[in-house]
Chains A and B, each alone.
Chain A
Amino acid sequence: MRLSIYAGPATTGKTSVIRHVLRKVKDAGGHPAFLKIDVQFAEEDVEIAREFDVPTRKVYSGELCPDHCSVMVLGDAIDWARKTGADTLFVETAGLCLRCSPYVNGGLGVVVLEATSGINLPLKVGPMLSLADVAVVTKIDRVSQAEREVFRARIQDVAPSVRIREVNALHGIGIDPLFDQTMAVAEVPFDASGRPQGLMLRGNPPVGTCTICVGKKEIGWQSHFGVVRSLENQVFYRGE
C-alpha cells in the first residue's frame, strides 16, 4: 500500500489536487482509495466515489482533534483500503490548528497552500509545512509571477528540503511530478497478522491534555492548572 497524506488550510484546493493525482493513478492502472477526515462535515468521499468509482470513506472527528483522530483511525484505514483491493491510499485531513502535522514515516506528506493566501502563510503553518515532503502551491493563476516566486522563496526559507510544486488545480497543470512522487513512495509494510507495521507520526504532537481540553471553561490562567500561561510570560514556539 502506497500512502499519501494531504494537509493544508481549508479551501486551498486539497481535494482538487488529490482528484488530479488520483485520476493519473487510475489511468496508470493503479487502484486508488480515498479517506477524508474532517470535523463535522465533508462530502468529498461521495464526490470522489461518484467521479472515479473507487472505494472512499470519511470519518468525522467530532469532539476529537482531527489530527488525533487521524492517528487513531489510520491503521484501520490502511487495513480497509487493502481489503478493498486498493494499492494507493489518499488521506485528506482537515488541517486546522497549524500546530500538528498528520504525516507519518513511510508515506508521502503533502501540504497544499494557496498562492493567494499572503506572503506570511509559510511562516504560520509550522510543521504542516516543515515536515511535509511536498508543498503544492495552488491558485497560481491568481497572482503575478513575481509574487508567486517570492511566495516560493518564503516556503523555501521555512522548509528548505520540501519540494515545491506549483499547480493549477483547476486544470491539473503541473500535477505530473506529484503523481511520480506518489507512485515512488515506499510501500507501507504489514505484520504477520496483516496490520500496518511501524507507522509513526513524523512530528511531536503538541502538549497534551489541559484543563480547557477536559472541559473547564473559566477564563484566566488563575482558574487553570497544568498548561498555563500569563500574558507577561510568553513562551516562544518555534515549530519543528
Chain B
Amino acid sequence: MISSITILGGRGRTGEPEGVDRIELRMGDVVSVVGPTGSGKTTLINDLELFANANTPSRRRVLIDGEPAPAHFRDDPARNPIALITQHTTFLSDLPVRQFIETHLRIRGTQKARAAEVLARTMDFANQLTGEPIDPNNRMTELSGGQTRALLIADATLVCDTPIVLLDEVENAGINRTRALELLREHRKIFLFVTHDPRIALLSDYRIVMKGGAITQLVHTDEAERRCAGVVTRLDDALARLRDKIRRGERVLGTELEAWA
C-alpha cells in the first residue's frame, strides 16, 4: 500500500529552478494547487500522472514511497495508483455509460462478482452531484459537461479506487461541490485539487502556489484561515442556493440572500 508521493522540483518556464525543491504528500493529505491561469497547475498534475522522471519539460521527478515509479504503473491500468480527473469534459466515445463503466471496471481489475454493485454505486455517486440524473443507457457523448464531470469523479473514486486522486478544476462544471467534497472525504486517499475555488483551497491542509510554470511556495492553512473557512462556506452556500433558485425559475428576494450569508 502506498503511503507517500514525493515531488522533486524541476524548473520553471524560464529555466530557473523551482522555489520549492521537495514536497511530500502523505496518505490522507488534502492539497490544493493554486496560481493564475497559465501558471503551470495542470502541468504539475500531469507530471504526477505520468510519474515524471526528469523526462517532461518541467524536469520534475515523482517518487512513490521514495522510489521512481515502476513501469507497470503506466503499463497496466489495474496497477496504476493514480486517478486523474482532467479538465476535458467532452467524451469522444459514443459507448453507453453502462458499457463504458463496465469496461473500465474490467481493466481496473474489479472482480466480476462486484462489478454490478460498483456500477450501481458509481451511478449513485455521480447522480448526487448532478442536476439531472445520468441514465446508464445514455451514450457518453450525450452527457452534459456537469454530468460528465460528475461521472468522472465517481469513476475515479469508486472504479479506479486508487490511493491518489488528482482533480483538475472540478468546480467549473456546475456540479454540487459541497456534496462532492463530502463524498470524497469518506475515502482516505491523497487528494490533489487544482483549483481557483477559495473554499476548496481553505479546506485543504496546504496549498501549492505556482507561477511561471514553477512551484514558488507552500502555504499551510493556519488557525485564522481555518476559522474563516466557515464564513467562506456560508458565502459559497448562499451563492449555491441563489444559483439553484434561478435554475428553478424562482424570483430572488434581497432579504433572504442576506439571511443566508
Residues of A within 8 A of B (CB): 116-119, 141-147, 149-154, 156, 164, 166, 168, 171-174, 176-177
Contact = CB atoms under 8 A, between A and B. Distances in A.
A168 B52 CA distance: 12
| 7 tightest A-B CB contacts, nearest first | A119-B93, A153-B107, A145-B84, A149-B77, A150-B103, A146-B155, A144-B86
B104 interface: yes
Contacts of B107: 149-150, 152-153, 156
Interface string B87-105: 0100111110000100110
User: DSSP majority for the A interface?
Assistant: helix
Contacts of A142: 88
B56 A171 contact: yes
Given A146-B152, A150-B107, A166-B74, A141 B46 contact: yes
B92 to A, nearest CB: 6
Contacts, number: 72
B119 interface: no
Interface string B70-93: 010011010000011110100111
Nearest to B71: A177
Contacts of A156: 107
Interface bin, chain B:
20 to 34
Given A146-B156, A164-B75, A153 B56 contact: no
A144 B85 contact: yes
A172 to B, nearest CB: 8
A150 B93 contact: yes
A153 B140 CA distance: 17
Nearest to B89: A144
Contacts of B156: 145-146
27 contacts: A119-B92, A143-B88, A144-B91, A144-B152, A145-B84, A145-B85, A145-B156, A146-B155, A146-B159, A147-B93, A147-B140, A149-B77, A149-B107, A149-B108, A150-B93, A150-B100, A150-B103, A150-B104, A152-B77, A153-B77, A153-B107, A154-B103, A164-B75, A168-B50, A171-B57, A173-B55, A177-B71
Contacts of B160: 146
B226 to A, nearest CB: 32
A142 to B, nearest CB: 7
B190 to A, nearest CB: 16
Contacts of B52: 173
B22 interface: no
Nearest to A168: B50
Interface in B19-56: 46, 49-50, 52, 55-56
A149 B108 CA distance: 9
Contacts of A144: 84-86, 88, 91, 152
A145 B103 contact: no
B121 interface: no
Contacts of A173: 50, 52, 55-56
Nearest to A146: B155
